[in-house]
Amino acid sequence: MAIVAIANQKGGVGKTSLVLNLGWAFGEMGYHVLLADLDPQGHLTAVFGDQGAAGLSSFLEKQEAGARPIASGIHLLGMEPGSFKSRDPQTTSAAIEALAAGYEVVLLDCPPSDGLLLQAALKAANALLIPLHPDYLSMNGLSRFIQFTQSLEGTKPFHLVLNRVSKRRRLDDEVRARLLAYFGERLLHTGIREAIAIAESPGFGQSLFQYAPGHGALADYRAVARELQAALAWPPPRNSQLLPRHLAVH
């Protein structure tokens, strides 16, 4: 099972849209995918209009190892760290791993913080994907964030992906060149282009794949999915005919 934490301490870099659409791309490839909303803001959950469903919070409250909050599927909702003061990242991480059992790819939408939820996500994950905007503020503190993640769990595979890229901005090329010089192959070759439809689709409770099936940015998400699969040496999906409608969301 591949568990990827999609995280950045800087907010507003497009983590949720990346989780949503990258998850759809993996589902399209045939992987059995779980999208886990670990951000108390609950943006990923809100896309699917199921804010009242039981999730990780109720799992922790019941303290039932291996329990499934919803029998028909796994639903993880964002939880407030303050509600679980007695919990430690290891306990929460174990809960995430138990809930994710049976899935081939698990994408964790992490909060923009360094608290319990991010720490638990990093403990549960076996890889880290860091989305960035192609600007200098996004690069500010990046090395410090990577050092923080490695201080928790040692060196895990991590990769960077540029989000909201525009070919018309010279700054985008400059930022990419700097990231390549410093991080090399850890920067994914494909960037996600800037597109209004990506921002619009969650308002309709849809991924971009559903909202605009012919949009050019879909090629970006598909390419990122293939790059990540190759970089992390994932095995092929068990069911090559599995369609995105089988995605279990939250």
**Sheet containing 105-109, strands listed edge to edge, beginning at the edge strand earlier in sequence:** 33-37, 105-109, 2-6, 127-132, 158-165, 192-193
Residue-wise over 42-63: b if at least 16 C-beta within 10 A, else e?
bbbbbbbeeeebbbbbbbbeee
Task: Give the whole-angstrom CA distance, residue 111 versus residue 146.
Answer: 15
DSSP string for residues in 212-225: -TT-THHHHHHHHH
Residue 75 has which token pair?
A: 């639903």
Rg (CA), the chain: 17
Asked, for residue 184, whether it belongs to a domain, the answer is yes
Please report the pLDDT score of residue 176 as a whole number.
93
pTM for the complete prediction?
A: 0.83
Residue 248 lies in a domain: no
pLDDT in tens, the chain (250 residues): 899 999 998 888 999 999 999 999 999 998 988 888 888 888 888 887 765 444 554 444 443 333 232 322 233 333 444 444 445 677 778 878 887 788 899 999 998 888 888 888 899 999 999 999 988 888 888 988 998 888 876 667 899 999 999 988 888 999 999 999 999 999 999 999 999 999 999 999 899 999 999 999 999 999 999 999 999 999 988 875 444 433 434 4
- The residues that bridge with 6 in the sheet, in sequence order, are 109, 129
Is 247 a member of any domain?
no
Q: What ranges make up the beta strands (E) of 146-241? A: 158-165, 192-193
User: How far is Cα 55 from Cα 99, in angstroms, rounded to an integer?
Assistant: 9
Q: Would 249 be classed as within a structural domain?
A: no
Residues spanned by the domain of 124: 2-237
Chain segment 78-95, per-residue pLDDT in tens: 344 444 444 567 777 887
What local confidence, expressed as pLDDT, does residue 223 receive?
98
Where residue 131 sits, what CATH number does that domain have? 3.40.50.300
- Number of separate domains in the chain: 1
250 within domain boundaries: no
Is the residue at 244 inside a domain? Answer: no
Indicate whether 59 belongs to any domain: yes
